[in-house]
Amino acid sequence: MREHKNLVLAAVLCAGLVHSAGVLAAPAATVPAASSPAALITAFYRDYFADEAAARKRYLDSGAFYSAGARKLLAENDFACRKVARGDDMCGYGAEADMFLDAQDSDPELTLASSGFTARPVGANAVDVAFKVFPKDASSQRTTMRYVLVREGGQWRVDDVLYPVKGAQAARNSMRQGILHEIVAISKAARDVADASGWVNIYVEEQQADRFARFVAFPVTVCVKQGACVPYAQDDARLPALVKTLHDTYFKAGAAKKGLPAIAAGKQGAGAPKEDSVVRSGPFDYTFQRGAWWLSRVDMARPPVGQQ
Protein backbone atom coordinates (compact mmCIF):
# COMPACT_ATOMS: atom_id res chain seq x y z
CA MET A 1 0.00 0.00 0.00
CA ARG A 2 3.01 2.35 0.40
CA GLU A 3 3.49 2.56 -3.38
CA HIS A 4 -0.23 3.21 -3.78
CA LYS A 5 -0.22 6.07 -1.27
CA ASN A 6 2.86 7.65 -2.85
CA LEU A 7 1.57 7.58 -6.40
CA VAL A 8 -2.14 8.26 -6.11
CA LEU A 9 -3.35 11.82 -5.94
CA ALA A 10 -4.06 11.29 -2.27
CA ALA A 11 -5.54 14.66 -1.43
CA VAL A 12 -7.87 14.56 -4.41
CA LEU A 13 -8.97 11.02 -3.73
CA CYS A 14 -9.64 11.62 -0.06
CA ALA A 15 -11.75 14.65 -0.91
CA GLY A 16 -13.65 12.61 -3.43
CA LEU A 17 -14.56 9.75 -1.16
CA VAL A 18 -17.42 11.78 0.26
CA HIS A 19 -18.99 11.53 -3.21
CA SER A 20 -18.77 7.74 -3.20
CA ALA A 21 -21.16 7.06 -0.36
CA GLY A 22 -22.83 4.27 -2.28
CA VAL A 23 -19.62 2.29 -2.45
CA LEU A 24 -18.75 2.97 1.18
CA ALA A 25 -22.24 2.43 2.54
CA ALA A 26 -22.49 0.54 5.79
CA PRO A 27 -23.69 -3.04 5.31
CA ALA A 28 -27.48 -3.27 5.26
CA ALA A 29 -29.65 -6.02 6.66
CA THR A 30 -31.06 -7.00 3.25
CA VAL A 31 -28.73 -9.99 2.91
CA PRO A 32 -29.21 -12.80 5.46
CA ALA A 33 -26.14 -13.73 7.46
CA ALA A 34 -24.19 -16.48 5.70
CA SER A 35 -22.97 -19.40 7.76
CA SER A 36 -19.76 -19.70 5.73
CA PRO A 37 -17.83 -17.99 2.92
CA ALA A 38 -19.12 -20.60 0.46
CA ALA A 39 -22.72 -19.94 1.52
CA LEU A 40 -22.39 -16.19 0.85
CA ILE A 41 -20.75 -16.66 -2.55
CA THR A 42 -23.25 -19.32 -3.63
CA ALA A 43 -26.20 -17.16 -2.57
CA PHE A 44 -24.75 -14.21 -4.45
CA TYR A 45 -24.28 -16.12 -7.70
CA ARG A 46 -27.73 -17.67 -7.45
CA ASP A 47 -29.24 -14.19 -7.22
CA TYR A 48 -26.83 -12.73 -9.78
CA PHE A 49 -27.71 -15.31 -12.43
CA ALA A 50 -31.43 -14.81 -11.71
CA ASP A 51 -31.45 -10.98 -11.82
CA GLU A 52 -28.15 -9.13 -12.16
CA ALA A 53 -29.54 -5.65 -11.43
CA ALA A 54 -31.42 -6.80 -8.33
CA ALA A 55 -28.37 -8.70 -7.04
CA ARG A 56 -26.11 -5.68 -7.50
CA LYS A 57 -28.57 -3.54 -5.57
CA ARG A 58 -29.06 -6.10 -2.82
CA TYR A 59 -25.42 -7.03 -2.28
CA LEU A 60 -23.22 -4.27 -3.70
CA ASP A 61 -25.21 -1.07 -3.28
CA SER A 62 -26.15 -2.04 0.27
CA GLY A 63 -22.52 -2.64 1.23
CA ALA A 64 -23.26 -6.24 2.20
CA PHE A 65 -20.80 -7.93 -0.15
CA TYR A 66 -17.35 -6.33 0.06
CA SER A 67 -15.23 -5.66 3.15
CA ALA A 68 -14.68 -2.11 4.36
CA GLY A 69 -11.17 -2.15 2.89
CA ALA A 70 -12.36 -3.39 -0.49
CA ARG A 71 -15.18 -0.83 -0.56
CA LYS A 72 -12.73 1.98 0.20
CA LEU A 73 -10.44 0.85 -2.62
CA LEU A 74 -13.36 0.61 -5.04
CA ALA A 75 -14.44 4.11 -4.02
CA GLU A 76 -10.94 5.45 -4.71
CA ASN A 77 -10.99 3.74 -8.11
CA ASP A 78 -14.41 5.17 -8.92
CA PHE A 79 -13.37 8.68 -7.96
CA ALA A 80 -10.08 8.47 -9.85
CA CYS A 81 -11.96 7.45 -13.00
CA ARG A 82 -14.59 10.17 -12.64
CA LYS A 83 -12.45 13.06 -11.44
CA VAL A 84 -8.78 12.40 -12.26
CA ALA A 85 -8.85 10.43 -15.52
CA ARG A 86 -9.78 12.82 -18.32
CA GLY A 87 -9.28 10.87 -21.55
CA ASP A 88 -11.64 8.40 -23.19
CA ASP A 89 -9.93 5.18 -22.11
CA MET A 90 -12.14 2.59 -20.42
CA CYS A 91 -11.80 3.09 -16.70
CA GLY A 92 -12.99 1.38 -13.52
CA TYR A 93 -13.18 -2.11 -12.06
CA GLY A 94 -15.55 -4.05 -14.28
CA ALA A 95 -15.69 -1.39 -17.01
CA GLU A 96 -14.43 -3.71 -19.73
CA ALA A 97 -15.94 -6.99 -18.55
CA ASP A 98 -18.32 -8.50 -16.01
CA MET A 99 -16.05 -8.95 -13.00
CA PHE A 100 -18.24 -11.69 -11.52
CA LEU A 101 -18.19 -13.75 -14.72
CA ASP A 102 -14.69 -12.67 -15.81
CA ALA A 103 -16.13 -12.30 -19.30
CA GLN A 104 -17.50 -9.67 -21.66
CA ASP A 105 -20.36 -11.86 -22.88
CA SER A 106 -22.40 -14.75 -21.53
CA ASP A 107 -25.43 -16.89 -22.37
CA PRO A 108 -28.49 -14.65 -21.78
CA GLU A 109 -30.31 -17.67 -20.31
CA LEU A 110 -27.52 -18.50 -17.86
CA THR A 111 -28.64 -19.81 -14.46
CA LEU A 112 -26.85 -21.22 -11.46
CA ALA A 113 -27.83 -24.73 -12.52
CA SER A 114 -27.07 -24.42 -16.23
CA SER A 115 -23.65 -22.89 -15.56
CA GLY A 116 -22.58 -25.93 -13.57
CA PHE A 117 -21.62 -23.59 -10.75
CA THR A 118 -19.50 -25.02 -7.94
CA ALA A 119 -18.15 -23.34 -4.81
CA ARG A 120 -15.32 -25.19 -3.04
CA PRO A 121 -14.04 -23.97 0.35
CA VAL A 122 -10.29 -23.37 0.50
CA GLY A 123 -9.11 -23.12 4.08
CA ALA A 124 -11.19 -21.12 6.53
CA ASN A 125 -11.81 -17.96 4.52
CA ALA A 126 -11.53 -18.59 0.76
CA VAL A 127 -13.81 -20.08 -1.88
CA ASP A 128 -12.91 -21.37 -5.34
CA VAL A 129 -15.78 -20.97 -7.79
CA ALA A 130 -16.10 -22.51 -11.25
CA PHE A 131 -18.78 -22.24 -13.92
CA LYS A 132 -19.37 -21.92 -17.65
CA VAL A 133 -20.65 -18.69 -19.15
CA PHE A 134 -21.65 -20.53 -22.35
CA PRO A 135 -22.78 -23.95 -21.09
CA LYS A 136 -24.45 -24.85 -24.40
CA ASP A 137 -21.08 -24.63 -26.15
CA ALA A 138 -19.33 -27.95 -25.59
CA SER A 139 -15.96 -26.39 -26.38
CA SER A 140 -16.26 -23.58 -23.82
CA GLN A 141 -13.91 -23.61 -20.83
CA ARG A 142 -14.93 -23.30 -17.20
CA THR A 143 -14.24 -19.93 -15.62
CA THR A 144 -12.48 -20.11 -12.27
CA MET A 145 -11.69 -17.54 -9.58
CA ARG A 146 -11.03 -17.48 -5.85
CA TYR A 147 -12.88 -15.26 -3.40
CA VAL A 148 -10.96 -14.30 -0.25
CA LEU A 149 -13.23 -13.24 2.61
CA VAL A 150 -12.85 -11.62 6.01
CA ARG A 151 -15.12 -11.53 9.04
CA GLU A 152 -16.52 -8.07 9.82
CA GLY A 153 -19.24 -7.36 12.35
CA GLY A 154 -20.07 -11.04 12.53
CA GLN A 155 -20.60 -11.25 8.75
CA TRP A 156 -18.52 -12.68 5.91
CA ARG A 157 -17.38 -10.06 3.40
CA VAL A 158 -15.32 -10.34 0.19
CA ASP A 159 -11.90 -8.75 0.66
CA ASP A 160 -10.27 -9.78 -2.63
CA VAL A 161 -10.79 -11.88 -5.75
CA LEU A 162 -7.96 -13.89 -7.30
CA TYR A 163 -7.90 -14.81 -10.98
CA PRO A 164 -5.85 -17.63 -12.48
CA VAL A 165 -2.37 -17.31 -13.94
CA LYS A 166 -1.33 -20.40 -15.91
CA GLY A 167 -4.15 -22.36 -14.31
CA ALA A 168 -3.50 -21.36 -10.69
CA GLN A 169 -5.07 -18.55 -8.66
CA ALA A 170 -2.49 -15.83 -8.12
CA ALA A 171 -2.42 -12.87 -5.72
CA ARG A 172 -0.59 -10.83 -8.36
CA ASN A 173 -3.64 -11.16 -10.62
CA SER A 174 -6.32 -10.07 -8.18
CA MET A 175 -9.08 -7.51 -7.87
CA ARG A 176 -7.02 -5.40 -5.47
CA GLN A 177 -3.89 -5.50 -7.61
CA GLY A 178 -5.87 -4.61 -10.73
CA ILE A 179 -7.50 -1.63 -9.03
CA LEU A 180 -4.22 -0.40 -7.55
CA HIS A 181 -2.54 -0.72 -10.94
CA GLU A 182 -5.28 1.34 -12.59
CA ILE A 183 -5.18 4.07 -9.94
CA VAL A 184 -1.40 4.32 -10.30
CA ALA A 185 -1.76 4.45 -14.11
CA ILE A 186 -4.36 7.23 -13.84
CA SER A 187 -2.08 9.22 -11.54
CA LYS A 188 0.90 8.67 -13.86
CA ALA A 189 -1.09 9.83 -16.90
CA ALA A 190 -2.24 12.95 -15.05
CA ARG A 191 1.42 13.84 -14.42
CA ASP A 192 2.38 13.32 -18.09
CA VAL A 193 2.10 16.52 -20.13
CA ALA A 194 2.43 14.54 -23.37
CA ASP A 195 -0.69 12.56 -22.44
CA ALA A 196 -2.68 15.72 -21.69
CA SER A 197 -1.50 17.38 -24.90
CA GLY A 198 -2.37 14.31 -26.96
CA TRP A 199 -5.97 14.25 -25.72
CA VAL A 200 -6.40 18.02 -26.15
CA ASN A 201 -5.19 17.81 -29.76
CA ILE A 202 -7.61 14.95 -30.46
CA TYR A 203 -10.54 16.87 -29.01
CA VAL A 204 -9.68 19.95 -31.07
CA GLU A 205 -9.44 17.88 -34.24
CA GLU A 206 -12.79 16.23 -33.45
CA GLN A 207 -14.34 19.53 -32.26
CA GLN A 208 -15.41 18.05 -28.92
CA ALA A 209 -15.58 21.13 -26.72
CA ASP A 210 -16.99 19.26 -23.71
CA ARG A 211 -14.08 16.82 -23.66
CA PHE A 212 -11.59 19.60 -24.40
CA ALA A 213 -12.88 21.33 -21.25
CA ARG A 214 -11.84 18.35 -19.09
CA PHE A 215 -8.22 19.49 -19.44
CA VAL A 216 -8.78 23.23 -18.96
CA ALA A 217 -7.86 25.09 -15.76
CA PHE A 218 -10.69 27.61 -15.48
CA PRO A 219 -10.64 30.54 -15.66
CA VAL A 220 -8.35 30.04 -18.66
CA THR A 221 -6.66 32.94 -20.45
CA VAL A 222 -7.60 33.12 -24.15
CA CYS A 223 -5.80 35.46 -26.55
CA VAL A 224 -7.56 35.69 -29.91
CA LYS A 225 -5.05 38.26 -31.16
CA GLN A 226 -1.94 39.88 -29.77
CA GLY A 227 -2.73 42.01 -26.75
CA ALA A 228 -6.37 40.93 -26.66
CA CYS A 229 -6.55 38.36 -23.86
CA VAL A 230 -9.65 37.57 -21.81
CA PRO A 231 -10.57 34.92 -19.22
CA TYR A 232 -12.98 32.11 -20.08
CA ALA A 233 -14.96 30.68 -17.18
CA GLN A 234 -16.14 27.09 -16.78
CA ASP A 235 -19.18 26.39 -18.98
CA ASP A 236 -18.33 29.55 -20.94
CA ALA A 237 -20.66 29.88 -23.93
CA ARG A 238 -17.69 30.94 -26.07
CA LEU A 239 -15.77 27.69 -25.57
CA PRO A 240 -17.33 25.72 -28.48
CA ALA A 241 -16.51 28.60 -30.84
CA LEU A 242 -12.92 28.64 -29.55
CA VAL A 243 -12.53 24.92 -30.21
CA LYS A 244 -13.98 25.39 -33.71
CA THR A 245 -11.55 28.23 -34.38
CA LEU A 246 -8.66 26.05 -33.25
CA HIS A 247 -9.93 23.21 -35.44
CA ASP A 248 -10.30 25.43 -38.49
CA THR A 249 -6.88 26.96 -37.91
CA TYR A 250 -4.99 23.70 -37.50
CA PHE A 251 -7.04 20.87 -39.01
CA LYS A 252 -9.49 22.17 -41.61
CA ALA A 253 -8.66 21.29 -45.22
CA GLY A 254 -6.46 24.00 -46.65
CA ALA A 255 -5.48 25.37 -43.23
CA ALA A 256 -2.17 27.20 -43.22
CA LYS A 257 -1.08 25.47 -40.00
CA LYS A 258 -0.99 21.71 -40.50
CA GLY A 259 -2.08 20.18 -37.20
CA LEU A 260 -1.31 21.02 -33.61
CA PRO A 261 2.22 20.18 -32.47
CA ALA A 262 2.54 17.13 -30.25
CA ILE A 263 4.54 17.23 -27.04
CA ALA A 264 7.24 14.61 -27.07
CA ALA A 265 7.47 12.15 -24.19
CA GLY A 266 9.89 13.43 -21.56
CA LYS A 267 9.35 17.10 -22.45
CA GLN A 268 8.58 17.90 -18.81
CA GLY A 269 11.95 16.49 -17.75
CA ALA A 270 12.87 13.69 -15.37
CA GLY A 271 11.24 13.23 -12.01
CA ALA A 272 7.95 14.53 -10.69
CA PRO A 273 6.77 17.84 -12.22
CA LYS A 274 7.03 20.89 -9.99
CA GLU A 275 3.89 22.73 -8.97
CA ASP A 276 3.10 25.62 -11.35
CA SER A 277 5.71 24.54 -13.90
CA VAL A 278 4.71 25.40 -17.48
CA VAL A 279 5.22 23.63 -20.82
CA ARG A 280 4.37 25.48 -24.03
CA SER A 281 3.09 23.71 -27.15
CA GLY A 282 1.84 25.63 -30.17
CA PRO A 283 -0.97 27.94 -29.01
CA PHE A 284 -1.25 26.20 -25.63
CA ASP A 285 0.38 26.60 -22.23
CA TYR A 286 0.09 23.62 -19.89
CA THR A 287 0.56 24.26 -16.17
CA PHE A 288 1.11 21.55 -13.57
CA GLN A 289 -1.25 22.07 -10.64
CA ARG A 290 -2.77 19.77 -8.00
CA GLY A 291 -1.12 16.65 -9.40
CA ALA A 292 -2.07 17.08 -13.07
CA TRP A 293 -1.30 19.08 -16.21
CA TRP A 294 -3.93 21.65 -17.14
CA LEU A 295 -4.42 23.87 -20.17
CA SER A 296 -3.91 27.33 -18.68
CA ARG A 297 -3.53 29.58 -21.73
CA VAL A 298 -4.67 29.59 -25.37
CA ASP A 299 -2.80 32.12 -27.51
CA MET A 300 -4.02 32.19 -31.10
CA ALA A 301 -1.56 35.01 -31.89
CA ARG A 302 1.47 32.89 -31.05
CA PRO A 303 3.70 32.20 -34.08
CA PRO A 304 3.30 28.62 -35.40
CA VAL A 305 6.86 27.48 -34.85
CA GLY A 306 5.97 23.92 -33.92
CA GLN A 307 7.14 22.90 -30.47
CA GLN A 308 7.85 26.12 -28.62
pLDDT of residue 267: 64
CA distance 182 to 186: 6
User: What domains sit in the chain, N to C, each tagged with a CATH number?
Assistant: 2-186 (3.10.450.50), 192-299 (3.10.450)
CA distance 164 to 74: 21
Kind of pairing between the strands at 216-225 and 292-299:
parallel
Q: Is the predicted pLDDT of residue 9 greater than 50, yes or no?
A: no
Q: Is the predicted pLDDT of residue 17 greater than 60, yes or no?
A: no
CA distance 291 to 84: 9
pLDDT of residue 270: 61
Nearest to 100 by CA among 140, 42, 154, 29: 42
Please say whether the beta carbons of 16 and 79 come within 8 A.
Answer: yes
pLDDT band at 269 (very low <50, low <70, confident <90, very high): low
Q: Is the predicted pLDDT of residue 7 greater than 70, yes or no?
A: no
Please say whether the beta carbons of 220 and 297 come within 8 A.
Answer: yes
pLDDT of residue 1: 41
The tens digit of pLDDT for each residue in 39-64 reads 999 999 999 999 999 999 999 999 99
Average pLDDT, the chain: 87
Torsion 43-44-48-51 (CA) sign: positive
Q: Is the predicted pLDDT of residue 221 greater than 60, yes or no?
A: yes
pTM: 0.78
